[in-house]
Structure 1
Amino acid sequence: MRSELFSAENLEKESHQPGMRLQNSKMLKIELNGEAMARTGSMVAYQGQVQFQALGSGGLGKFLKQKLTGEGVPLMKLSGRGDVFLAENAADVHLIDLEPGDALSINGSNVLAFDSTLNYDIKMVQGAGMMSNAGLFNCVFSGHGRIAVTTKGTPVVLNVDAPTYVDPQAAICWSANLQTGYHRAEQLGIGTLLGRRTGEAFTMTFAGQGFVVVQPSEEPPAGFAAGAQQQSSGSSGLLNQIFD
């Protein structure tokens, strides 16, 4: 049988080392020898002796935070020995290696899989304006290990060495040590009162030393963020205490 489908670039990528690697730009391969964590429903194929265990958000504390915020990662634990292939709606997949002392703040909907050696929690995004459409919560990963994230399209990685402004719906992840806030980008005036809008009412601000990953797609707000405009400053203070 002959076909371009069977070309070398489409054949399974082999390696002698266990762990995560890209099968191609839109598919992740985990050569499993132990445990790994993955987004529920992301498995597209597997070979070998692999067990799948649903974990919800990864513990009671994270489950409660996810229910309150709409943020988090619906997880399954992969265990055993074999090859597991993961994907998420043909989105582009990227690998990030975290070293001890690193911390990454990431939108939970962009997490595909991560090593079980990593820790994560749901944290409030500091400086998040209650009038913005952006998410107020993110997943923060730390520890030593590899994480696979997804983007819609090829992203740009901005080095934050000057004040940086990003559409909050396009920001995928950033260095957790960065200072965040929100800035009104659209100028108020008679045009605004007449209903003329730029579509860029607010931008997210980043300051400090680190990076921001920006995708060429703007995701609509979801979960808690969709109702953020309904919240009062008093409830914001309470949430800050819960998510410190």
Structure 2
Amino acid sequence: MADAMTMDQLMHASIQGSRTEHRPFSLANDKMLEVNLGVPGSTGQLLEFVWMKMGSMVAYKGEASFKREGVMEHGFGHMLKKSLTDEGVTLTKVSSKSQAQVYLADEGKLVTIVKLQGDTLVINGNDLLAFEPSVNHKITMMRKMSSIAAGGLYNVKLSGQGCVAFLSHGKPITLLVGPDQPPVFTDPQATVAWSGELSPEFKTDIQFKSFLGRSSGESFQMKFDGNNGRGFVLVQPFEEHPPPPSAS
């Protein structure tokens, strides 16, 4: 049994953010992101707002305001893709005119922070937690209808300079992809993210589909071929089933 903490120890163990307030993004713990508004962002400019996953705020300290992403906030093409996906990435802008700390979490998932330095990262739409405004984002839709049945309907391509935070059920593994590596096949429902240089394709396993009598992660697979680029894929130890469609 672990040693019990005193009230004073508990208080100091719970305010890790006070030591990292100069960073735009930091981990309050492995399942909670701390966003520090009013400090220099990754590009050196004052971080006045960030984009976060709608509904992920669990607490904040200081003055902050929350505004849901507007329909035309990022252009007509962005709006059209959101309407076609039905469950398109819904973001909230959290801003502050002074300094504030905002804490984000989602269903107890692990949080990972990555700093883009001119790179491109593609993240499963449901796994995107937050990103700085200096990061460009674009909704990308899978090219084959089989991806819809597999639950991999939309992803978010992020590029530029700045911090991005994403979620995963458990600690993901990293699989390398390249000309000197064999192709990588993943379950779409367990695929969290991949480097932007890669262009995955969908593969249908008819035998699995016929045997099981229904669609599954085994019958639909994502194929990452090193001949089309070099990079990596992140896979979580969990099959994340998409939410049921909303009633019309």
Same fold (TM over 0.5): yes
* TM score, norm. by length of structure 2: 0.78
Contact 1:122 1:138 in 2 (8 A): yes
Q: 1:77-96 alignment to 2 at 5 Å?
A: 77-80=93-96, 81-96=99-114
2:74 corresponding residue in structure 1: 59
Separation of aligned partners in 2, 1:164 and 1:4: 50
Identical positions, percent: 36
String of CA shifts for 1:182-236, please: whole Å, max 9, x gaps.
22346379xx469599962121100231111111111224578xxxxxxxxxxxx
Equivalent residue of 2:69, what SS?
A: strand
Match of 2:199 among 170, 174, 179: 179
Separation of aligned partners in 1, 2:194 and 2:216: 26
Contact 1:45 1:86 in 2 (8 A): yes
Contact 1:135 1:222 in 2 (8 A): no
Contact 2:147 2:220 in 1 (8 A): no
Separation of aligned partners in 1, 2:212 and 2:123: 37
Q: 1:104 to 1:2 in 2, by over 3 A?
A: same
Tell me the number of residue pairs that the alignment of Structure 1 and Structure 2 aligns: 221
Backbone CA RMSD of aligned residues: 2.9
Equivalent residue of 2:200, what SS?
A: strand
Q: 1:1-40 alignment to 2 at 5 Å?
A: 2-3=6-7, 6=10, 8-13=12-17, 14-33=19-38, 34-40=48-54
Separation of aligned partners in 2, 1:93 and 1:198: 26
Q: 1:26 to 1:188 in 2, by over 3 A?
A: closer
1:232 corresponding residue in structure 2: none
Equivalent residue of 2:207, what SS?
A: coil
Q: 1:199 to 1:147 in 2, by over 3 A?
A: closer
Separation of aligned partners in 1, 2:20 and 2:164: 18
1:68 corresponding residue in structure 2: 84
1:124 corresponding residue in structure 2: 141
Contact 1:105 1:176 in 2 (8 A): yes
Match of 1:141 among 125, 136, 158: 158
Q: 1:86 to 1:196 in 2, by over 3 A?
A: closer
Separation of aligned partners in 2, 1:142 and 1:82: 26
Contact 1:71 1:138 in 2 (8 A): no
Structure 1 unaligned segments of length 5 or more: list them.
Answer: 225-244
Q: 1:92 to 1:16 in 2, by over 3 A?
A: closer
String of CA shifts for 1:46-75, please: whole Å, max 9, x gaps.
111212122146435323311211353211
2:42 corresponding residue in structure 1: none
Q: 1:22 to 1:193 in 2, by over 3 A?
A: closer
Amino acid at match of 1:139: V
Structure 2 unaligned segments of length 5 or more: list them.
Answer: 39-47
* TM score, norm. by length of structure 1: 0.79
Contact 1:22 1:28 in 2 (8 A): yes
Q: 1:76 to 1:130 in 2, by over 3 A?
A: closer
